[in-house]
Structure 1
């Protein structure tokens, strides 16, 4: 038994015994890679959770607007400054580009693909929130484009938030704008999606 233990514990002549990481794990990648991978999965979970909340709020409010507000008079919320008014929008956010419905549908789908690619190297919590807002908003309006009248890829988006002197919009538009503003701020501060900070 002693001889067997000596043989097992003795490294071979070529030094192929696994290295021990700083946390006691064997292998060079065990200590260095486990924590980033775990952190990356948590950031992706945050992204998906934010996207799900934004999407469900947008979808729920649109269903309520179509059922209760469409073909009815606008509802004052803050006097004449803010009202809820059901509007079908064939264009982009805030009624821009009404003749380019199909183009904006393709752009929304492309945005979702880009976010999915970025998420593979996502280690920043603020970026996860920003991308989650973008994803949820893009999915919300894309759902309208695909499944509402007048047809597939040409569906009109349901808008209902109508400030005085401004275009009518919805919660998906709000999520997209908030996510975009947050991304601009993060980029201005030099924070990348992978968590690194750069300075120009």
Structure 2
């Protein structure tokens, strides 16, 4: 299988795991209920987030919908040049997380392109996130490492011409 196919497969795994866990959270957690996983550090708590991280921009949900759609399109376009396993993992995780958030924005209440993202992993009261957020955060860290190490996205001939 080519790297693009692996990227799509990883994205699908992230998407399925994230959406399945959100389905579980909606069915198992009542709004405001807290379940301790690691006391004082990690709890499960349902939160419907209209904004971005830390609920920033709660009144601009449509902007996040557009940003997620553009990110998905850009990753699909750039991913066609993949030759690196590390970049395949980065773009696959980014694509899966971005697409899952896009689906939330498009199809969840309160309405089309205004949907709220389902968050349920509470990190000690600092912020509440989900599986897609974990994939996005880890892939962004790896993206920075690959960029700082000057590892090309595609063939060695692409070095210096490729950016992600």
TM-score after normalising by structure 2 = 0.91
Q: 2:119 aligns with which of 148, 159, 175?
A: 159
Is the deviation greater in 68-77 or in 50-59?
Answer: 68-77
User: 1:11 aligns to what?
Assistant: none
Equivalent residues in 2 for 1:89-128 (5 A)?
89-128=49-88
From the CA coordinates, give the structure whose radius of gyration is larger.
1
Unaligned runs of 5+ in 1: 1-40
CA–CA separation in structure 1 for the residues paired with 2:24 and 2:32? 13
Deviation at 1:163, TM superposition (A): 1.1
Q: 2:133 aligns with which of 169, 173, 176?
A: 173
CA–CA separation in structure 2 for the residues paired with 1:195 and 1:97? 39
Higher relative contact order (CA 8 A, sep 6+): 2
Between the two proteins, the alignment pairs up a number of residues equal to 158
Q: In the alignment, is the contact (CA less than 8 A) between 1:95 and 1:168 conserved in 2? A: no
Equivalent residues in 2 for 1:40-189 (5 A)?
42-71=2-31, 73-189=33-149
TM-score after normalising by structure 1 = 0.75
CA–CA separation in structure 2 for the residues paired with 1:49 and 1:109? 19
| RMSD, aligned CA | 1.4
